[in-house]
Structure 1
Amino acid sequence: MENLKIWIRKNGSTAVLTVLFIIILVNKDAKAWLMRQVASTGILNSGISDSKKAQGSSKQASYAGFMLKNEDGNIIDTSALQNKVVFINFWASWCPPCRAEFPSVQKLYDQYKNNPDMVFLTVNLDDNTALGKSYLKEKGFTVPFLVPAGEIPDVLYSGSLPTTVVLDRKGALRLHHTGLADYSKDSFYTQIDELLKQKP
């Protein structure tokens, strides 16, 4: 017993760090918290591209007709969202980076949900949609719960979670970001405001 006390005194910080590391490895929320701290620095963020660099009409045509289904079973056709700024986020409840960025997605949604020129398409990709719904309810998130109602165009999503896309009022692809980011920064709100000011 005395040897254990001596070992703990000599290696206490190592033991604590090992326990914390194990917790982060096995607990999704702990992983998400750590990733959120990194994301809050802004170093992982991607900005909205200049309109001159926006994707051409062929790219726009390639995601026209992307269909989603809401909780009521109603179909949403993204090609009907012309003249609006569209924020699309592909996520899953089992994905720690998705969990890490979701509070910032919720803050962005809260900021713009009453703006008639802004649309949020938060697309759940859980194999079991009940898990995604349960996650939103458990965390108190109120973003729209949507699932694909057909093929997802490659130009929007190529298999990495999370993936975030922003379309401008002309339907041009202005942001395509794979991986964790913080969408609750004032600098991002400013970029969204600029897109909202542009004429369709």
Structure 2
Amino acid sequence: MEKFKIWLRKNWSTVFFVGIFILLLVSPGAKAWLMQQIISTGLLNPKIEKKSVGKPLEETPSVSESFRVKDENGKIINVSELKGKVVFINFWASWCPPCRAEFPSIQRFYEKYGRNSELIFLTINMDEDLKAGRKYLGEEEFTVPFLIPDGSVSKEYFSGSLPTTVVLDKTGKIRMKHDGMADYSKDSFYGQINQLLEE
């Protein structure tokens, strides 16, 4: 026992960092916290394109026909019918640490703009067990809309990477697509959203 104490005194920093590493491996919350520290730097943040890079939805029939979501009451929202609005789409899952890392920023964004009738939030849960997604939002007291896909989603919007965020302008064109986590509560992002709202 004495030898162990001596070894521990000499190697305490190694033990500490191994403990942190193990915690990060097993705890989604710890991973999310670490990732939040990374995204708070703003280095991973995407930019909304100044010029439209996507096609209008009517020019991509497979998207307008198949990309629909529904809310908890079964109400269907067809993305192709949202023209005239700026649309913020986020694909997420409760088990995904990068999703958990960025979700507080999405909640702050929603609290700031959620009442703006010109901006629609589609936060689309991709959990296989929908109860897990609802439980996560409830535990964290997030109030963003809980939506699920109604049918398949075009790869133009979601190719399987979580989280994925897409922003559509008022003509239905993709102006931003970002695979991976980001901070959507930065003033720089709000400024880009404001420009889209003014177009």
Provide the TM-score with structure 2 as the length reference.
0.96
Structure 1 runs not aligned, ≥5 long:
none
Counterpart of 1:99 in structure 2 is: 100
Percent identity of paired positions between Structure 1 and Structure 2: 54
Counterpart of 2:182 in structure 1 is: 181
The C-alpha deviation readout for 1:146-199, integer Å capped at 9, x for no partner, is: 00011101100001000000000111100000001111110000000000011x
Counterpart of 2:170 in structure 1 is: 169
Structure 2 runs not aligned, ≥5 long:
none
Counterpart of 1:32 in structure 2 is: 32
- For residues 58 and 166 of structure 2, the distance between their equivalents in structure 1, rounded to whole angstroms, comes to 13
Counterpart of 1:43 in structure 2 is: 43
Residue 45 (structure 1) shift: 1.1
Name the stretch that deviates more: 83-92 or 61-70.
Answer: 61-70
Residues 91 and 124 in structure 1, CA contact (< 8 A), matched pair in contact too: yes
Letter of the structure 2 residue corresponding to residue 150 of structure 1: G
RMSD across aligned positions (CA): 1.2
Letter of the structure 1 residue corresponding to residue 56 of structure 2: S
The C-alpha deviation readout for 1:112-149, integer Å capped at 9, x for no partner, is: 00100000000000001010000000111000000001
- For residues 55 and 74 of structure 2, the distance between their equivalents in structure 1, rounded to whole angstroms, comes to 32
Residue 56 (structure 1) shift: 2.7
* Misfit runs of 4+, over 3 Å: 57-60
Mapping of residues 116-195 of structure 1, within 5 Å = 116-195=117-196
Provide the TM-score with structure 1 as the length reference.
0.95
- For residues 169 and 42 of structure 2, the distance between their equivalents in structure 1, rounded to whole angstroms, comes to 22
- For residues 146 and 115 of structure 1, the distance between their equivalents in structure 2, rounded to whole angstroms, comes to 19
- For residues 69 and 55 of structure 1, the distance between their equivalents in structure 2, rounded to whole angstroms, comes to 24
Counterpart of 1:64 in structure 2 is: 64
